[in-house]
Amino acid sequence: MLDQTYSDTLQFECETGNYHTFCPISCVAWLYQKIEDSFFLVVGTKTCGYFLQNALGVMIFAEPRYAMAELEEGDISAQLNDYQELKRLCLQIKKDRNPSVIVWIGTCTTEIIKMDLEGIAPRLEVELGIPIVVARANGLDYAFTQGEDTVLAAMVHRCPEQKEIDKAPLGHQTLSPLPKSIVPKSQERVSAAPMNPLSAPSLHPPLVLFGSLPSTVASQLNLELQKQGIQVTGWLPSQAYADLPVLGKEVYVCGVNPFLSRTATTLMRRRRCKLIGAPFPIGPDGTRVWIEKICSVLGIEPIGLKEREEKVWSSLEDYLKLLRGKSVFFMGDNLLEVSLARFLTRCGMIVYEIGIPYMDRRFQAAELALLQQTCDDMGVPMPRIVEKPDNYNQIQRIRELQPDLAITGMAHANPLEARGINTKWSVEFTFAQIHGFTNARDILELVTRPLRRNENLQQFSLIPFIKG
Amino acid sequence: MKLAYWMYAGPAHIGTLRVASSFKNVHAIMHAPLGDDYFNVMRSMLERERDFTPVTASIVDRHVLARGSQEKVVENITRKDKEEKPDLILLTPTCTSSILQEDLENFVNRASTTTDSDVILADVNHYRVNELQAADRTLEQIIRYYLTKAKKQDKVVLKKTEKPSANIIGTFTLGFHHQHDCRELKRLLKELGIITNQVIPEGGSVKELYALPSAWFNLVPYREVGLMAAQYLKKEFGMPYVAITPIGIIETALCIKEIQTILNSEPFCLKVNYSSYINEQTSFVSQAAWFSRSIDCQNLTGKKALVFGDATHAASITKILTKEMGIHVVCAGTYCKHDQAWFIEQVQPYCDKILITDDHEEVGDIIAKIEPSAIFGTQMERHIGKRLNIPCGVISAPVHIQNFSLGYRPFLGYEGTNQIADLVYNSFTLGMEDHLLEIFGGHDTKKAVIKSTSMESDLFWTTDAQLELNKIPGFVRGKIKRNTEQFAKEKNISEITVEVMYTAKETLSG
């Protein structure tokens, strides 16, 4: 069972990387919905297409704004010209859908055959008159949610520059040199009408938040900050490609999701933005510290935050009762694990293991510090953090530890349930609304569901029949 | 390059994995990048599988790209050999690994010197074959491997079983109603006095393949997978096979008669006559023949239908609709382009138009043009039907979880005819009811009185709040509106802002 020796620092381990996760191209599923005037073209094989088709389920029938550029034998053996082929497909997309931006998602195959997507895009962009953003969201380098990171990092380059706005004459815009030849239309509109109702003049430097969230959740976070007198200047990504936020060295940026380390780096290095390192606004504890951190950087004294947090906690009491003292094991597949583990520790759970595909200790520094502090506060041992986990070994550990809950991918969920281990499907955390004070309950709704299911089954004494 | 939104048949490795994971104690190792093991999710979800899917990946990452797989694949094979002690490890290339052009055969040879398990490399070309073709090949490859091996050791059981017996070849995991079909087939064989020797691959063991030739004949229920294996067994061991799919009353009878012919001819020379069995089953066990004569079915006469699916199911359903129910099949189609000659030959006499395509948009266009009364197709056609308001019965993969029913739903055999009759009848907006409605002038047209569920309008929604409300998906919007208004009333708030909405959510949710 659990080692009773108290470790007072976090332990990091790294295993073989033989684990199950979604391919990062899955980010098109939520990004095409978020960026309403975009079109995502995944340049890959039947395997990629089959994954998307099955992973996205019914979404595929809703005429989504994404498609596969399916590579055939002629493309692989370079009998066909990549440039000509992509041009043909993109013209078709332009004709059928007329998007404001086409995002090319590079895959494992384009990496291996070294297709020069970054080289072709600027040429085609000029010919087509549609911006083409290239993101290499492939399974050779990345896991699941990191796909969004690669897309956002690529979009950073397309955000308008602070100075350009100031110089831009009203109503028309001269094209700047490549690769920004096609500048988002917002530059024409920014001065005409403020896109963001919240962008009234403010007393603090501009603040841009990055990370794709459903618009409801984004406005909830905007509102929380507004209560502290902070105006969010813009979001990356925005609802429309045309409204990408203005960036520059005066701009402060802050992430809302733990898997956005490339985007953060790109914002700092390429656009000289100032990064606010904070835990992520997941759970009431995370949200409070996130806001506090932003306030402190912008020189604002936060008001009423502690009370707000307390109120949320008290409204969660019915769920917390179910969770206190229970143990949880994260197999790891979406990089939200540290934040969720920190929140669940605060809820009174004991975290045995945090599996995680990739751990950027710099980008997640504040989150890791909060996790450590939370463990201290709650008087529970520090969990082990296992990077690039090995699912086979993990299952042996789950067998030994018998956690009350395993948060895992669908490949293991049913087999674990059949062996008496409660599971929650990890992908749901990516698609559910989990950010901010308002949605803390939604996280616990997910986490407690298997426990509540058991209560039901127990109540009608079905358990002996299914476990017998 | 091809612009694609949807595909009917998956990539080759899926077929290989489906065959491998159907056998007992066979482990597949994919040479693939992270995330390509999506097969495990499908199997665990769709089949609601209780066991871990015996498929792991030997991950291809940046390092592999730079230095080659080197020891990695071999290590993964030997590791799996120790952990799971499988009978066979099947190394499965993917589209990614096939471009790397590594000598996987060499890895297999090296690994097999140190493992207790047999190790083979799945022999499929990713850019030339699809899921179904790959499954067919892999099944044949495994059978050939074990029979060749047994031959060398002189272990093949050539002596026929004492009583007539058959192998069922081609039912496997993630197949459309395969589990139910398999049970129905075994029952059928039993009632004909035939022993089921082996079922391959579902639930079969590679260790017993040496005894395959002891069966009198092979039964290949589906066109797509199993034929290659049956042909190999015929060539190598002279085993006859029956490849008539027993779907529908007529085809089931033909299948049984074919079995009778085999049993009565050389070298078995039995004198079996299944005619009375066929008559009895058709008249009493299957309700489908009676259904054809009932007035319900009469009302379906001449109604227009479109059929689309894999070759086996699309051809069989087309024949049932035309020959057994008098329905007018305007168009019959399949996405099995590789087998089009057979398909055309099968359905030519029974439909106006034949469609061979794997482009769902083409199928959609034709459906829109024909406007049939019902569609029989895959999940894709079901969604096309939804959009066009045409009912659809699902008769073929690709499928959703709802096609993996817990209840007994075979498509094959005599119980299968009952299931299909239900499916067809229910799809045609209830023939009789429809007819009566037409006679009596349709449904009651008086508008139902709908009570306004919203609170009295002393509440004012700000513009922002209204916009926010509109962002909420339609099916929960009403509920959220009511909850918010109720909350506002309780708190004596007269103006609903976005903030009030969120506070209401925090207070009321759960």
**Are A328 and A413 in a shared domain?**
yes
A182 found inside a domain: no
Average pLDDT rounded to a whole number, residues B85-112: 92
pLDDT of residue A55: 82
**Phi, psi at residue B393, to the nearest 5°?**
-100, 130
In this complex, is the C-beta atom of B309 within 8 Å of any C-beta atom belonging to chain A?
no
C-alpha–C-alpha distance, residues A158 and A154, integer Å: 8
**Are A123 and A216 in a shared domain?**
no
In this complex, is the C-beta atom of B38 within 8 Å of any C-beta atom belonging to chain A?
yes
CATH number of B460-508: 1.10.8.550
Name the packing angle between helices B38-46 and B12-22 (round to 10°).
50
pLDDT digits (tens, 9 = 90+) for B177-236: 999 999 999 999 999 999 999 999 999 999 999 999 999 999 999 999 999 999 999 999
**Are A445 and A394 in a shared domain?**
yes
Q: Do B35 and A144 touch (CB under 8 A)?
A: yes
Average pLDDT rounded to a whole number, residues B76-105: 93
- Report the residue of chain A nearest B64, measured CA to CA: A140
- Report the residue of chain A nearest B101, measured CA to CA: A112
Tokens standing for residue A142: 């990345």
Q: Do B2 and A69 touch (CB under 8 A)?
A: yes
pLDDT digits (tens, 9 = 90+) for A32-66: 989 999 999 999 999 999 998 888 765 666 678 99
pLDDT of residue B126: 87
Number of separate domains in chain A = 3
**Are A337 and A438 in a shared domain?**
yes
Task: Give chain A positions within 8 Å (CB) of B33.
Answer: 23, 108, 138-140
**Are A260 and A239 in a shared domain?**
yes
- Report the residue of chain B nearest A78, measured CA to CA: B1
pLDDT of residue B5: 83
pLDDT of residue A202: 61
Task: Give chain B positions within 8 Å (CB) of A88.
Answer: 1
A37 found inside a domain: yes
pLDDT digits (tens, 9 = 90+) for A62-110: 678 999 999 988 898 888 899 999 999 999 999 999 999 999 999 999 9
Q: Provide, rounded to the nearest whole percent, the portion of chain A with pLDDT above 90.
A: 79
| CA nearest to B244, candidates B271, B218, B267 | B218
CA dihedral B495, B501, B503, B506 (to 10 degrees): 150
Does the annotation flag B81 for ligand binding?
A: no
- Report yes or no: A211 and A290 within 8 Å, Cβ to Cβ: no
What class does CATH assign to B289-439? alpha beta
Across chain B, what does the average pLDDT equal? 91
Tell me the binding residues of A: 23, 48, 108
Task: Give chain A positions within 8 Å (CB) of B100.
Answer: 112
Q: Do A112 and B100 touch (CB under 8 A)?
A: yes
pLDDT of residue B63: 87
**Are A284 and A332 in a shared domain?**
no
What 8-state DSSP symbol labels residue B348?
A: G
pLDDT of residue B395: 96
Tell me the binding residues of A for [4Fe-4S] cluster: 23, 48, 108
**Are A319 and A452 in a shared domain?**
yes
Cα atoms in the 13 Å half-sphere on the side-chain side of B84? 25
In this complex, is the C-beta atom of B68 within 8 Å of any C-beta atom belonging to chain A?
no
Task: Give chain A positions within 8 Å (CB) of B400.
Answer: 57
Mutate to test the interface with A, among B17, B34, B360 (most CBs of A within 10 A): B34
Task: Give chain A positions within 8 Å (CB) of B509.
Answer: 441-442
Q: Do A45 and B95 touch (CB under 8 A)?
A: yes
**Are A451 and A316 in a shared domain?**
yes
pLDDT of residue B456: 54
**Are A219 and A103 in a shared domain?**
no
The CATH superfamily holding the domain B153-285 is Nitrogenase molybdenum iron protein domain (3.40.50.1980)
> pLDDT band at residue B4, thresholds of 50, 70 and 90?
confident
Q: Do B95 and A109 touch (CB under 8 A)?
A: yes
Q: Do B96 and A113 touch (CB under 8 A)?
A: no
pLDDT digits (tens, 9 = 90+) for B271-280: 999 999 999 9
* Domain boundaries of chain B, sorted by first residue: 12-129, 153-285, 289-439, 460-508
> pLDDT band at residue A467, thresholds of 50, 70 and 90?
low
Per the model's pLDDT, the better-predicted residue between A10 and A442 turns out to be A442
- Whether B460-508 and B12-129 are alike in CATH topology: the answer is no
- Its sign, for the CA torsion A187, A192, A194, A195, is negative
DSSP letter for each residue of A80-123? S-HHHHHHHHHHHHHHHH--SEEEEEE-HHHHHTT--HHHHHHH
Task: Give chain B positions within 8 Å (CB) of A426.
Answer: none
With b meaning 16 or more CB within 10 Å and e meaning fewer, what string describes B66-85? Answer: eeebeebbbebbbbbbeebe
Task: Give chain A positions within 8 Å (CB) of B10.
Answer: 46, 50
- CB-based contacts of B133: which residues, under 8 Å, 6+ apart? B12, B15, B124, B338
pLDDT digits (tens, 9 = 90+) for B419-476: 999 999 888 865 556 666 767 766 554 444 444 444 456 788 888 888 888 887 777 7
**CATH number, position A437:** 3.40.50.1980
- Report the residue of chain B nearest A357, measured CA to CA: B34
Residue with tokens 């792991």: B56
Residue with tokens 């332009």: A94
**Are A129 and A214 in a shared domain?**
no
**Are A402 and A452 in a shared domain?**
yes
Per the model's pLDDT, the better-predicted residue between B296 and B130 turns out to be B130
Average pLDDT rounded to a whole number, residues B29-58: 92
Residue with tokens 């399974």: A139
Q: Do B44 and A412 touch (CB under 8 A)?
A: yes
pLDDT of residue A176: 39
pLDDT of residue B214: 97
In this complex, is the C-beta atom of B401 within 8 Å of any C-beta atom belonging to chain A?
no
Residue B296 annotated in active site = yes
Residue with tokens 């070759």: B311
Domain span including residue A248: 207-298
Angle value at C-alpha A216, between A213 and A221, nearest 5 degrees = 75
A173 found inside a domain: no
Catalytic annotation, pick one of B296, B358, B359, B434: B296
- CB-based contacts of A191: which residues, under 8 Å, 6+ apart? A165, A168, A170
- Report the residue of chain B nearest A84, measured CA to CA: B1
Element (H, E) at A208: strand A207-210
What class does CATH assign to B12-129? alpha beta
Q: Do B35 and A47 touch (CB under 8 A)?
A: no
Size of interface A-B (CB pairs under 8 A): 178
**Are A455 and A310 in a shared domain?**
yes
Mutate to test the interface with B, among A22, A52, A54 (most CBs of B within 10 A): A54
Q: Do B40 and A315 touch (CB under 8 A)?
A: no
Q: Do A143 and B40 touch (CB under 8 A)?
A: no
- CB-based contacts of B407: which residues, under 8 Å, 6+ apart? none
C-alpha–C-alpha distance, residues B268 and B452, integer Å: 77
- Report the residue of chain B nearest A108, measured CA to CA: B96
